[in-house]
Amino acid sequence: MFDKGVKFVLHVFSVLIRLSLPEIIAMRTALFRATSLLGMTVGAFAFVARPMSSSISRAAAPNASALTPRVGAGQAAAVFAGGCFWGMQLVFEHVKGVTGVTAGYAGGDKSTASYEQVETGTTGHAESVRITYDTSQVTYKQLLQVFFTVHDPTELNRQGPDVGTQYRSSIFYVTPDQKQIAESYIAELNKNKAFDAPIVTQVVPLPKGFFPAEKYHQEYAIHHPDQPYIVINDLPKVETLRQQLPALYRENLHP
């Protein structure tokens, strides 16, 4: 049985390395749809599942100091949660006008802002990204457009192969204007029937701050571009951004 499992995984990898990114995206979409119809969880497959915390090399101890939304002149901050923060961080580093992206946790207490605790799904935290951006180059609504383009806002407490409240879709607003813009944009999407199912994205305040994730999570997708989870789940998000929102896409990660 073990030998058969190994042979199956090796076969999958042999197929993947011959596929183009658009073909991987199509295969991933078909896989999710098929497993959903069968009542299966995609995360059960090792070749697309996110590594458990015990298998990730650590470079630093958890950082539980909250970041406030304060930024410099001409800058603003946004906090989004749309599944695994590896992919979200990678995507927004490809957005024009973005000056920094930090992976972290939002929605819970400082005392539980560590990966080991958050991945239990019992802390109230969601894996999130804090985005700082130049308001003269990109608007909050445009960031929302990216956010809703690269993740599925109709999935409740999950995103692709990752299941749990820590992977929920949320917008943590830091100003009343952000709340109004986010709620109006979601209403616009619903009116236009942009998705086949109702949007379940939460629009909630950020009362306890944003807590940066451990150092080994920062720019994880950049440092591990060949990791199967990244290839299957995160690189397609960047390709979606490039194809669907070319005016907002930039090739270089850091200006």
The CA distance from 250 to 93, in Å, is 8
Neighbour order of strands in the sheet with 202-205: 202-205, 169-173, 75-82, 126-134, 98-106, 210-212
CB burial of residue 173 (10 Å; 0-12, 13-18, 19+): buried
Bridge-based pairing state of the strands 169-173 and 202-205: parallel
CA-CA-CA-CA torsion sign (166, 186, 211, 209): negative
What are 212's two structure tokens? 């940066």
Q: How far lies 101's CA from each of 49, 76, 79, in Å?
A: 24, 12, 10
20 backbone φψ class: left, alpha, beta (φ>0; ψ -120 to 50): beta
The type of residue at 18 is R
CA-nearest of 62, 48, 49 to 103 is 62
The answer to whether residues 162 and 50 touch, using CB atoms and an 8 Å cutoff, is yes
CA-nearest of 152, 161, 153, 164 to 118 is 164
Respond yes or no: is residue 205 known to be catalytic. no
The CA distance from 43 to 49, in Å, is 5
Catalytic residue among 79, 81, 84, 103: 84
Residue with tokens 């692709």: 160
Catalytic residues: 84
